[in-house]
Amino acid sequence: MSPEQRSECERLRNLPSAEAAEYIVRMSSSDEGTIDYVSIIPHISWGREEQFRLGRHFLHDIPHASDRAYRALISIMPAHRLATIISGMLPRKIKDISLLGYYLKPILIDACTTQKDRKTVMALLREIETIGE
């Protein structure tokens, strides 16, 4: 993490979770921000609502060309929560769904720690597979 990111992370840790999430969403959506907020997300504790908000914000244009956003988000929430967010945003193009599955499958499977995680993740992976056929 760069000194600028460390400083920003420290500042955001001192804010309430909702306020920090609002700031990250606003700054990462604008051209003003020069900081990579995806890298900061794992270093802050987030409430459940903020986890959903950050997930929807950073995944609104899935699939991504790397696994960075998926890994950052899985580090702050249970696998079933990330799977739930993604299931509402699945792309319909076979090319896009294949790329999503390529990055997402190993991340979600490795993150499963409960039966609820496994059930939700497997349902999402089956849906991805069905769309990709």
pLDDT in tens, 52-92: 999 999 998 888 889 999 999 999 999 999 999 999 898 88
Q: Has residue 15 got a pLDDT over 90?
A: yes
Alpha carbons 16 and 39: distance in angstroms, whole number: 19
Residues, the chain, total?
133
Give the tens place of pLDDT for each residue, 57-66: 999 888 888 9
How far from 5 is each of 10, 34, 36, 85, CA to CA, in Å? Answer: 9, 10, 8, 26
88 token code pair? 């509402």
Count CB-CB contacts under 10 A for residue 46: 21
Q: How confident is the model at residue 33 (pLDDT cuts 50, 70, 90)?
A: low
Res 64: pLDDT: 87
83 token code pair? 């799977």
